[in-house]
Structure 1
Amino acid sequence: MSRPRSISDRETWIRTVSFLLLGSICYALPWSVFAALPTAADNGSVLRIQGSNTIGAKLGPALVKGLLEEQGLSAVHIETGAVENEQRVLGNTADGRSVSIAIAAHGSGTGFTSLADGSAELAAASRPIKDSEAASLQALGDLKSAAAEQIIALDGLAIILHPGNPISALNTLQLAQIFAGEITDWAQLAAPAGAIHVYARDDKSGTYDTFKELVLSANGKTLSATAKRFESSEKLSDAVSQDRNGIGFIGLPYIRQAKAVAIAAGDSQPMLPTLTLIATEDYPLSRRLFLYNPPQSTNPWARALVQFAQSPRGQAIVEQNGFIAQTVQAVTIPVQANMPADYQDLAKHAQRLSVNFRFQEGSATIDNKARRDLDRVMAYLHEQDKLKGKVVLVGFGDAKADPARAELLSKLRAMAVRRELNKSGVSFRDIIGMGDELPVAANNADEGRIKNRRVEVWVY
């Protein structure tokens, strides 16, 4: 496909690339077919979404509103439901019929429960589906497949304090000890004395599941029984911002009036939850946000919403709502003294793309997000005329007893990405294996090792 010359050609080209990316995921439905989406005969909801409060509070309704507007519906608006954390998005068709989509945001786990009992057609989750959940939903198809598991946005768990707290950085072990009730006074962290008050999301929350996996379980801890629990992200954040001794965790858009601190994991440098570090998933508490659409689903609105969320307009809505879009951008990386010489040279003369390729657990196969990122990277390289000799792939891995083996494995990962991009006509300037250099997570747990096994893309 040749590179577009004019603005109108570029828009057509971007839509074509988006279709190529999404066609196999969304049953090859062309964009225009959405105009024929059905309305409910009994004026009920044409789609019911259940799950994550992180998604359902703002992002989910905003994406649904965008879809209805894309369909040409009029008077599109959001109504608060009779139950807390439930909303409806409504609009009118040209012939006066009403369309309603219901969104309930009671926690990621409730999304999968609702798929099982038939009370929802689409599950929203702020953490991956668990093996036990996927097994219980086998009758609906493979929920871990690329057709079912849709990564719609990236987010980072921000660790928040009162704005007056002087602490600027913590590591994940300290976090685990604080939230387990083992560190109980700020004086133990060289801050002004005061009993630490712990705030956490409730057990149904995907935000809590993510924190539990990345922080508590990874360090052999459990949440203190004295933690104050919240279903609402906004209420938790506001409570911490008003408590000088408070500490909590929250999704990136919900920092509000609180203060976020930098986080370190293992040997990594402390990192703030910045856009770039979350986009690359290097920030230790970064996470993916999902919509799960069962492969055997026949609901056209569910398929339409998934496709819209992945589209350029859908990703713009993701960004407008404070989450991190999956749009590929080139970023200048400052040179730091701890960087290996080859990496310093890259930082001086090239730019890093805001995407990392990661792999399925225990496999050299790229994961579901990476499959779609291949197309996003290809679209960027086409647009920027960087297909020939302008790309460097840099592989990283977790620590091995033999450093030479770690370097070899990291280069093999980079070569796996090279093979995929080469199929679309990309030629490379260099392929580099960095071994276990520059870790972004601890290597003493599976989650950390998976984050460290990554491939970066640099362009000249």
Structure 2
Amino acid sequence: MKMTTWVMSAAVVAMSVVGCGGATDGAVMEGPASAVQALGPNREFYGSDTLKDAIIAASLASSANLNVQGKGSGVGEGCLRDGSTGFCTAQQQALAPMSRDFKAPCRTGERSNIIALDAVNAFVNSANPLTDISLTDLRKIFFATDSAGAPVSGSCTSTLTKYRRDDLSGTTDTFKTLVGGGTFCSDVVVISDGTLPAACAGETSATKCIGKLTATDANAIGYSGDSAGRTGNRALTVNGIAPSTTNVRKFLTDKANAYPLSRALFLNESTTNARSSNERILYAWAYSAANKQAFENILVNQGFIACDPTGPLKCGGANNDGKGAGLCQ
């Protein structure tokens, strides 16, 4: 699986999309045409930390001029809905990159747009002899209680140094749901976007920080999106199934045999919230016939998995462009 880090300079991004057309070529501008919503005072745009670097690159390529902040899928969802304390007011955004789907119930105008697939991986240092782990053992390592609140037998006894994303993270929501976890063990170290530890100096996100920590600590284990992979760490197989492209793509076609921690990634939207001109530009560029392959290339270069190798953004939904392919249609 590809784990290339995207170089986020305007020059590099511009070179990657030469000949792909402008932001509006072939695009349909969706959402309210007359109402224009301001983002934060500096065009702050919140959402998934996992997708942060990819959305920065897409903003550069499309000239959307968004100030991409990450902070977590929970923050992005809040910015679409009722606001997120310390970050945004209610309905401040009309788009939000998210590494999980909307939380039910869907609200009027919400649409779940799948843009790629990903593996939530349990990363260990390359020197660790462990190669496979069960969902049961992951639950014992990370969680004191299960999803029903019952104590996990034999839990919290591992001597590994454990790292996790914070509670605003869609990756944490996904991991807890798929592993069946409830309350984390008290010794699990929380890595939050925006407050990275000194050991992660130079890293751009909590996702990349967990990649660095597991690559440099022989005793470490941490869960994160696949883009945390790098020289020095290694993703474990889970229940004997590797996080390969083929096994993750089964998430859409054969879930029973997919990698157990597979997930979809989203550019979720509210079609009723007023959207900023910056969001309009990004959306038009990403879904235009001229540029959606460039958008998918950005995602794949970040280590994410194209839904279908036969064409860009073929992620299901009524028009097989990923729009409405999740919970909210």
Alignment-derived partner of residue 295 in structure 2: 314
Preserved CA contact (<8 Å) 1:48 1:120: no
Alignment-derived partner of residue 279 in structure 2: 302
The residue matched to 2:271 in structure 1 has which SS?
coil
Give the C-alpha shift of residue 303 in structure 1: 4.0
Alignment-derived partner of residue 122 in structure 2: 159
Alignment-derived partner of residue 250 in structure 2: 280
Q: Alignment identity in percent? A: 26
Match of 1:293 among 264, 269, 277: 269
RMSD over equivalenced CA pairs, Å: 3.3
Q: For the residues of structure 2 that align with 1:167 and 1:253, how far apart are their CA atoms? A: 20
Match of 2:235 among 241, 260, 269: 260
Alignment-derived partner of residue 59 in structure 2: 64
Greater fraction helix: 1
Preserved CA contact (<8 Å) 2:76 2:98: yes
Give TM-score, length-normalised by structure 2.
0.67
Alignment-derived partner of residue 112 in structure 2: 149
**Shift in CA distance, 237/151, structure 1 to aligned 2, threshold 3 Å:** same
Q: 1:331-346, aligned counterparts within 5 Å? A: none
The residue type paired with residue 238 of structure 2 is I
2:26 aligned with 1:52? no
Preserved CA contact (<8 Å) 1:158 1:252: yes
Preserved CA contact (<8 Å) 1:162 1:244: yes
The residue matched to 1:292 in structure 2 has which SS?
strand
Alignment-derived partner of residue 113 in structure 1: 78
Rg comparison, structure with higher value: 1
Greater relative contact order (Cα < 8 A, sep 6+): 2
Deviations, residues 77-104 of structure 1 (Å, cap 9, x unaligned): xxxxxxxxxxxxxxxxxxxxxx731211
Q: For the residues of structure 2 that align with 1:208 and 1:28, how far apart are their CA atoms? A: 30
The residue type paired with residue 76 of structure 2 is G
Q: 1:185-334, aligned counterparts within 5 Å? A: 195-217=159-181, 221-231=182-192, 232-256=206-230, 257-264=232-239, 270-281=240-251, 282-299=258-275, 300-310=277-287, 311-329=292-310
Deviations, residues 165-214 of structure 1 (Å, cap 9, x unaligned): 1111111111111112535566xxxxxxxx22221111111111110111
Greater fraction strand: 1
Q: For the residues of structure 1 that align with 2:49 and 2:65, how far apart are their CA atoms? A: 20
Give the C-alpha shift of residue 154 in structure 1: 1.1
The residue matched to 1:370 in structure 2 has which SS?
coil
**Shift in CA distance, 129/375, structure 1 to aligned 2, threshold 3 Å:** closer
Alignment-derived partner of residue 130 in structure 1: 103
Preserved CA contact (<8 Å) 1:315 1:327: no
Give the C-alpha shift of residue 322 in structure 1: 1.4
The residue matched to 2:307 in structure 1 has which SS?
coil
**Shift in CA distance, 154/308, structure 1 to aligned 2, threshold 3 Å:** farther
Give TM-score, length-normalised by structure 1.
0.49
Give the C-alpha shift of residue 164 in structure 1: 0.9
The residue matched to 1:244 in structure 2 has which SS?
coil
Q: For the residues of structure 2 that align with 1:285 and 1:112, how far apart are their CA atoms? A: 22
Number of equivalent positions = 252
Q: For the residues of structure 2 that align with 1:298 and 1:112, how far apart are their CA atoms? A: 15
Deviations, residues 278-322 of structure 1 (Å, cap 9, x unaligned): 223221111111122211134354344234334222111111221
Q: For the residues of structure 2 that align with 1:173 and 1:373, how far apart are their CA atoms? A: 38
The residue type paired with residue 262 of structure 1 is T
Deviations, residues 110-154 of structure 1 (Å, cap 9, x unaligned): 11222232443422211111126x4xxx4xx332xxxx2211121
Alignment-derived partner of residue 438 in structure 1: none
Give the C-alpha shift of residue 239 in structure 1: 1.5
The residue type paired with residue 172 of structure 2 is Y
The residue matched to 2:306 in structure 1 has which SS?
coil
Preserved CA contact (<8 Å) 1:293 1:303: no
Give the C-alpha shift of residue 48 in structure 1: 4.3
Preserved CA contact (<8 Å) 1:233 1:250: yes
Alignment-derived partner of residue 21 in structure 2: none
Deviations, residues 249-279 of structure 1 (Å, cap 9, x unaligned): 1111111231111112xxxxx1221122222
The residue matched to 1:280 in structure 2 has which SS?
helix
Q: For the residues of structure 2 that align with 1:27 and 1:235, how far apart are their CA atoms? A: 36
Q: For the residues of structure 1 that align with 2:306 and 2:319, how far apart are their CA atoms? A: 12
